[in-house]
Amino acid sequence: MYILCDPELVALKIFAAPEVLAAAERAGVKPGTVFTEESCGTNALALAREHQRFLAIRGEQHYCRLFKDWWCVASPVKDPAGKTVGFLDISLHAEKDWAWRRRTWQTLVDLIETEFYLRELEGKLQQTGVGLPPSLALLPEVEQELTPREQEVLTLLCYRLTSKEIAGRLHLSPSTVETYRKRIYQKLGVKGRVGLFSILDR
């Protein structure tokens, strides 16, 4: 189950299999539920807000009996200025899923924060009159050729970010970004950014 909350820990959206959603709703967990410690006791979302960092708790650490079978991880989601704009929680029944859960959580937070960053960057470009990068939606071959991570790097390249800036946004090392950049150029048959922009402008 995935729970996306606002900065006050009010659930905005809950994603889960239909049977899990139905059980959660019967127990009172639905959009609008407040996950503060005062309202439902010790939980990962409340602790993540209190400490402003990634936190995980086991089922027996929950105060509320409803959550005793759940292992939960939660973290703040921040905008490009570093302001907390919400919280994301991933809750699963099985302890064995811990490693998968942490990787999934990090990927989701990265995607959300990258989206915030791109929206802010797009707004700044529009304000300054600088043209936006060409639409990648016009290039179906791009989606077929590139991995999802390569597509993320390509999008940021189109916004003229440096490898170091891309590394910061995607939580990668600059050398890893360079590797992705070279693969992208190779797959698209271009030698550099000039060649990249020329095929995107077709």
* Domain coordinates in residue numbering, the chain: 2-103, 133-200
Q: Which tokens sit at 182?
A: 């070279």
More confident residue, 58 or 35: 35
Which numeric CATH code is attached to 133-200?
1.10.10.10
Confidence of residue 105 (pLDDT cuts 50, 70, 90): low
Burial category of 192 from C-beta neighbours within 10 Å (exposed 0-12, middle 13-18, buried 19 and up): exposed
Is 3.90.10.10 the CATH number for 2-103?
Answer: no
Residue from 158, 159, 167 nearest 195 by CA: 158
Position 141 scores a pLDDT of 60
pLDDT over 90, % of the chain? 22
60 close to 36: Cβ distance less than 8 angstroms: no
Mean pLDDT along residues 29-54: 92
Question: What is the reported pTM?
Answer: 0.56
User: pLDDT tens-digit profile of 158-185?
Assistant: 777 888 888 888 888 999 999 999 998 8
Q: Give the pair of three-digit tokens for residue 93.
A: 């029944």
Q: Which residues pair with 77 in a beta bridge?
A: 86
Query: What would the pLDDT profile of 79-99 be if each residue is shown by its tens digit?
Result: 777 789 899 998 877 555 556
What is the band of 101 on the pLDDT scale with cuts at 50, 70, 90?
low
Q: How far apart are CA 71 and CA 172, in angstroms?
A: 27
pLDDT of 8-25, one tens digit each?
Answer: 999 999 988 888 888 888
Report the relative pairing of strands 84-92 and 2-5 from DSSP bridges.
antiparallel
Burial string for 54-79 (b: 16+ CB within 10 Å, else e) reads bbbbeeeebebebbeebbbbbbbbbe
What is the bridge-based pairing of β-strands 11-15 and 2-5?
antiparallel
Going through 79-202 in order, the beta strands assigned E by DSSP cover 84-92
Note whether 2-103 and 133-200 share their fold.
no
80 close to 58: Cβ distance less than 8 angstroms: no
pLDDT in tens, 119-153: 776 666 566 554 445 445 445 566 677 888 888 88
Alpha-helical runs (H) found in 94-139:
98-128
Model confidence at 52, pLDDT cuts 50, 70, 90, reads very high
